[in-house]
Structure 1
Amino acid sequence: MSWLLGRNRQQPQPDQTAGFSDGGGSADPEGRTAGEKSGDSQLSRAERKAMEAYRFDSSALERAADAAKTLERSKHAREALELSKMQEATRQTEYNTKVKEYEAHIEQAKVEQKRIDHEERRKTLIEETKQQQQRAQYQDQLSRKRYEDQLLQQQRVQEENLRKQEESVQRQEAMRRQTIEHEIEMKEKNRLKLLEHELRAKARVDRENRDINLEKIRLKAQEHRTTVLEGIKTAGTVIGAGAEAMLTDWDKVLTAAGGLSLLALGVYTAKGATGVVSRYVEARIGKPTLVGETSRFAFLDALKNPLHYLNRLRAKPTDALQGVVLNPKLEERLRDIAIATKNTRINRGLYRNVLMHGPPGTGKTMFAKKLAEHSGMDFAIMTGGDVAPMGKEGVTAIHKVFDWSHTSRRGLLLFVDEADAFLRKRSSEKISEDLRAALNAFLYRTSEQNPKFMLVLASNTPEQFDYAINDRLDEMVEFTLPGLEERERLLRLYFDKYVLQPAAAGAKRFKLDTFDYGKTCSKMAALCEGMSGREISKLGVSWQAAVYASEDGLLTEKMVLDRCYSAAQQHKQKMAWLSDQERADHKSITGTAAPPLTLTANKL
């Protein structure tokens, strides 16, 4: 009921002291009269403050009384009372709510305190457990250390005992060795003394029997001289009698002369016939030393590998360009050469000599073999580098090669690889006399075209040939490095040969992942710029090696591309190793300089 006491009122109450102004005089705002003020003025400030502390202000009670009267006269008195009661009830409810909240806070504090106590107890237990574990670990470390110390002590004791035993054995061995050496020394001394006594005794006996020994020697020499003289006399008598008997009888003289003549004739005839037969056998059955590989029938080789020769006899002529990937224009020209060679053999015409030049690994040797198989001819491969080491025997070996070539019934394709090794220019090149003689022999045997054999030369540097060699060539074919399309065809060919066929055959450690093979080959063809066909074939072999080196035997696209990047980088390194002269030669061979390979991080 704060409004009854004058608090929280919105409008000021009328002045209740107005009715007392007549009797008491005028009052100031504080309710004091003029007499009081005059009395107060005579007091000090401290006294006035002390009196104000005990002064009672009745204005509040008066205002309360006036308010009560006003309320009683008001028509809303009951509603105001009810409102006051409701306000008091609301305050009481709020107070009870605060009391409940306070009690809840107290309970929460108790629960929190219990939780803190449990947490502290848990931490205490954890710390005690940790301390116990540390003590146990420390005790274990001490035990281990004691055990290690015991082991070290035992090891030292064992080592000491072993050392003592070894020293004892060494001393015993030394004593035994000394004993044996002493025994050997004593035996040697005894043997020397015994030998000395024997020699002295023998010398004494020889001195005593000197006259007897000289007499024995004299008698033996006299008897030997008598025997020799008697033998000479007997032999002379017999030989003289025989010669006299033969010279007096002319029939015996003629018989002896005829026998000796027939004997000499038989010896020389057998020697010559043996040489002829050996040369015939070598020409018909064997093969010359310079020929490294041939398809001609050789009796000894047939005995070593009969199945190979049976399969070769059953084989039918194949296409000359089967498995050979070249430029379309070059393929067309080589096909014309193959057709002309086959028809020449059928019609028994004269074969034309061919020069195939170009970078290494571009298919020259492969085409020569295919050409011989397509034409139904035998082929023989010799290397020009084998002629120089033979020295003076080189001329004979070359003649044997050409003699052997003339004995082929089917016709022979003689392929000379690296021909520039011994067919160099005689005017500008410094060559030995033996090599010059071999070159002259080669020129002599190839001076005219022959219906028995076809000569095919292969060289990386044809400009080094002697002019006479160039005069004997009828066709000159240049094999260039494969272009983009040829590289893609080669990659597809070798991918099928080294990857797809083994995977389809069901090899145990050869599996192929699923990816776009054609797209991968096209991508690799761009990376393999400047590489030869041989290098691309080796790339195919490296794919097989990657499969065999993997754990699961699975060839993925990443493995294929990684091998391709590695091969391209190796080719780039090979090109960097070339000297200036080799670069110039390589440029002249290929026709264009090999472009540098740049493998960026994005490609890799």
Structure 2
Amino acid sequence: SLPPPPTPPETSKDTKNKPGDKWSNFDPTGLERAAVAAKELDKSTNAKEALDLARMQESTKQIEFQGKVKEYEMNLEHLKMDQIKMQGEERRKTQSQDAKIKKEQAEYQDLLARRRYDDQLKQQSLMNEDNLRRQEQSVEKQEAMRRGGQKYPRNTYMLGINKSTLEHEMKLRRDNEMARAEAEAIARAKADRENKDIRREEIKLEAAEKRQTVLESIKTAGSVLGEGAKSFLNDWDKITTAAFGLTLVAAGVYTSKNTIGVVARYVEARLGKPSLVRDTSRFTVLEMFKHPIFFQPTLEERVRDIAIATRNTKKNKGVYRNILLHGPPGTGKTLFSKKLAMHSGMDFAIMTGGDVAPMGREGVTATHKMFDWANSSRRGLLLFVDEADAFLRKRATEKISEDLRATLNAFLYRTGDQSNKFMMVLASNQPEQLDWAINDRIDEIVEFSLPGADERERLVRLYFDKYVLEPAMNTKQRLKLGDFDFSSKCSEIAKKTEGMSGREISKLAVAWQACGYASMDGTLTEQMIDERVDDAVKQHSLK
């Protein structure tokens, strides 16, 4: 048994209120029971099994606790996922609400702009009427004064007196200047007559000195040249050196002349614009194209893929692909080629097939020069061949001449292999007339069809805004607009212009502007627009 715990010391009156020792409240009975249980467990035969059982119970409790912890973590993760879903839903609702608000704001701004434009038109009309009324009143007053025979007012009389006084003063001033100039001329002539002898002596002395100087210079030069020639002829080494030097100079002049010719021909072939190239962006600032292209969705997706592929080909220094664009005139083939070159960061050059036939035998040389010039581009060149069927048509036909056949063969020779220096874009209204070898060199064919209903409406609105609304908003121009609904009118025009190309719609908008300028007061009315649209539809049907 354990020894009894120490008895706490007796507390005196002075230490009654002080805190006791750390053993003062200790209860040893628990330790005694534990010691007894440990001794009994040691004496027992099942001590080891009891310890294993206790250890297993402890591990089971730990596993249960870990399971509860994992279950808590899983519940926490589910809560986080639910919170993320709720936040995403709230964000989508907020975005949709913002989009709705922005749409309402845009519609409201458009309404305000229309009202502001209507107010400007009304104010301009009132100002014009006011100015016209004032002019009419002024004309009536002048006509009344002329008919009534009224006398001039006093201020007019004074103005006439001041005018006559100024004329008299100007006349006196002019007479004084003439008299002074005449006196100066007479004095100068008198002084020249008095100094005539002195001037003559000065001229003689100057001439004698000049003559003496020239004679001495000639004498000195003769003596120097004579001595030099004498010493040169007496020295054989100097003669040999001079002859060798003259030979070298002659050879240098001859070599320089031929070298300059070769360099000039190289520069002309590589850097100068060939005769077959009509327009290029290699020596001019890149044009900012203001006319957009509106394609149908399928065509727009296809040309976008071509543009992306061409741009990535240039970045990675790959091999360019040749393209054939075919379709009716005015559908945007040339404009698409220019935008493709601009988007890809390449140079751009236009060649017209109709320019080749008149060149005759020079067509082969011009074709080689053009391709040499294209290969010299550092940025890569997009060669656009417009009206390709006029030049690259089938060789089996009898209509093609021998010179044109030779030029076509040269073109085929230079385009036999794909290049990483230039790409070729052909445009044709009749692709079935192209030679079979040209078709073999084409990697992709794109059809440019006429614009559909949606594309026509976008084109009509664009050109109506550009050629009608903008000039009408400008106070410096004469064009004004009548009172009608522009939006509904554009939709109506788009339905009437079915079958028209983008170029024809652009010309129709220009005709509206010209019609407004030609009117009496510069006002373009709805009736004028309808008349021009009906006329354009009839002309399109006739074409």
TM value normalised by structure 1: 0.48
Please list, as runs of the form range in 1=range in 2, the aligned pairs for 1:458-537 lying within 5 A after superposition. Answer: 458-537=427-506
Change (3 A) 1:536 1:447: same
- Residue correspondences, number: 309
After TM superposition, give the deviation of residue 322 of structure 1 in Å: 7.4
**2:343 corresponds to:** 374
Counterpart Cα distance in 1 of 2:444 and 2:271:
32
Counterpart Cα distance in 2 of 1:262 and 1:433:
49
Matched, 1:453 2:418: no
**2:82 corresponds to:** none
After TM superposition, give the deviation of residue 334 of structure 1 in Å: 0.5
Residue pair 2:346, 2:380 contacting (<8 A) in 1 also: yes
After TM superposition, give the deviation of residue 285 of structure 1 in Å: 4.8
| Counterpart residue type for residue 273 of structure 2 | K
Counterpart Cα distance in 2 of 1:438 and 1:264:
42
**2:36 corresponds to:** none
After TM superposition, give the deviation of residue 504 of structure 1 in Å: 2.6
Q: What percentage of aligned pairs have identical amino acids? A: 67
Counterpart Cα distance in 1 of 2:516 and 2:269:
47
**1:397 corresponds to:** 366
After TM superposition, give the deviation of residue 512 of structure 1 in Å: 2.0
Matched, 1:343 2:343: no
Counterpart Cα distance in 2 of 1:558 and 1:566:
12
Counterpart Cα distance in 2 of 1:347 and 1:504:
48
More displaced 10-residue stretch of structure 1: 340-349 or 502-511 = 502-511
Change (3 A) 1:263 1:444: farther
Q: 1:549 aligns with which of 482, 504, 518?
A: 518
Residue pair 2:459, 2:505 contacting (<8 A) in 1 also: yes
Change (3 A) 1:279 1:327: same
Change (3 A) 1:474 1:511: same
SS in 2 for 1:430: coil
Counterpart Cα distance in 2 of 1:504 and 1:441:
55
Counterpart Cα distance in 1 of 2:279 and 2:411:
19
SS in 2 for 1:470: helix
Unpaired runs of 5+ residues, structure 1, are: 1-248, 299-308, 575-604
| Counterpart residue type for residue 321 of structure 2 | R
Matched, 1:281 2:303: no
SS in 1 for 2:484: coil
SS in 2 for 1:380: strand
Counterpart Cα distance in 1 of 2:319 and 2:283:
23
Counterpart Cα distance in 2 of 1:509 and 1:484:
32
After TM superposition, give the deviation of residue 264 of structure 1 in Å: 7.0
Please list, as runs of the form range in 1=range in 2, the aligned pairs for 1:147-226 lying within 5 A after superposition. Answer: none
Counterpart Cα distance in 2 of 1:291 and 1:429:
28
Counterpart Cα distance in 2 of 1:515 and 1:533:
25
SS in 1 for 2:516: helix
Counterpart Cα distance in 1 of 2:261 and 2:424:
29
SS in 2 for 1:409: coil
| Higher gyration radius (CA) | 1
After TM superposition, give the deviation of residue 493 of structure 1 in Å: 1.5
Residue pair 1:356, 1:476 contacting (<8 A) in 2 also: yes
**1:154 corresponds to:** none
Residue pair 2:471, 2:477 contacting (<8 A) in 1 also: no
SS in 2 for 1:338: helix
Please list, as runs of the form range in 1=range in 2, the aligned pairs for 1:78-93 lying within 5 A after superposition. Answer: none
**Residue deviations 1:113-169 (CA, integer Å, cap 9, x gap):** xxxxxxxxxxxxxxxxxxxxxxxxxxxxxxxxxxxxxxxxxxxxxxxxxxxxxxxxx
Counterpart Cα distance in 2 of 1:505 and 1:402:
48
Unpaired runs of 5+ residues, structure 2, are: 1-235
After TM superposition, give the deviation of residue 506 of structure 1 in Å: 3.2
| Counterpart residue type for residue 368 of structure 1 | S
Residue pair 1:285, 1:297 contacting (<8 A) in 2 also: no
Matched, 1:294 2:280: yes
Counterpart Cα distance in 1 of 2:312 and 2:466:
32
**Residue deviations 1:570-596 (CA, integer Å, cap 9, x gap):** 11222xxxxxxxxxxxxxxxxxxxxxx
Change (3 A) 1:550 1:296: same
After TM superposition, give the deviation of residue 268 of structure 1 in Å: 4.8
After TM superposition, give the deviation of residue 433 of structure 1 in Å: 1.2
| Counterpart residue type for residue 471 of structure 2 | P
**1:333 corresponds to:** 302
Matched, 1:383 2:352: yes
After TM superposition, give the deviation of residue 458 of structure 1 in Å: 0.3
Change (3 A) 1:283 1:496: farther
Counterpart Cα distance in 2 of 1:382 and 1:324:
22
Matched, 1:272 2:258: yes
SS in 2 for 1:545: helix
Matched, 1:432 2:401: yes
Residue pair 1:494, 1:540 contacting (<8 A) in 2 also: yes
Please list, as runs of the form range in 1=range in 2, the aligned pairs for 1:567-586 lying within 5 A after superposition. Answer: 567-574=536-543
Counterpart Cα distance in 1 of 2:392 and 2:246:
52
SS in 2 for 1:426: coil
Change (3 A) 1:271 1:434: farther
SS in 2 for 1:569: helix
Change (3 A) 1:252 1:430: farther
After TM superposition, give the deviation of residue 279 of structure 1 in Å: 2.9
Change (3 A) 1:429 1:478: farther
Matched, 1:409 2:378: yes
Residue pair 2:326, 2:429 contacting (<8 A) in 1 also: yes
**Residue deviations 1:284-330 (CA, integer Å, cap 9, x gap):** 653111111111126xxxxxxxxxx3xx49x7xx9xx9710121111
Counterpart Cα distance in 2 of 1:406 and 1:395:
17
Counterpart Cα distance in 1 of 2:375 and 2:532:
47
After TM superposition, give the deviation of residue 283 of structure 1 in Å: 4.7
After TM superposition, give the deviation of residue 382 of structure 1 in Å: 1.1
| Counterpart residue type for residue 473 of structure 1 | I
SS in 1 for 2:292: coil
| Counterpart residue type for residue 302 of structure 2 | R
| Alignment RMSD (CA, Å) | 2.7
Counterpart Cα distance in 1 of 2:345 and 2:482:
42
Residue pair 2:350, 2:386 contacting (<8 A) in 1 also: yes
| Counterpart residue type for residue 295 of structure 2 | L
**Divergent runs of 4+, >4 A:** 251-256, 258-268
After TM superposition, give the deviation of residue 502 of structure 1 in Å: 2.2
Change (3 A) 1:558 1:456: same
| Counterpart residue type for residue 419 of structure 2 | N
After TM superposition, give the deviation of residue 253 of structure 1 in Å: 11
**1:55 corresponds to:** none
Residue pair 1:353, 1:472 contacting (<8 A) in 2 also: yes
Change (3 A) 1:387 1:262: farther
Counterpart Cα distance in 1 of 2:365 and 2:269:
13
After TM superposition, give the deviation of residue 280 of structure 1 in Å: 3.8
After TM superposition, give the deviation of residue 370 of structure 1 in Å: 0.9
Residue pair 1:283, 1:407 contacting (<8 A) in 2 also: no
**Residue deviations 1:316-367 (CA, integer Å, cap 9, x gap):** xx9xx97101211111101110111111111111111000001111110011
Counterpart Cα distance in 2 of 1:429 and 1:371:
37
After TM superposition, give the deviation of residue 263 of structure 1 in Å: 7.2
Counterpart Cα distance in 2 of 1:500 and 1:275:
58
| Counterpart residue type for residue 275 of structure 2 | T
After TM superposition, give the deviation of residue 394 of structure 1 in Å: 0.9
Change (3 A) 1:564 1:420: same
SS in 2 for 1:476: strand
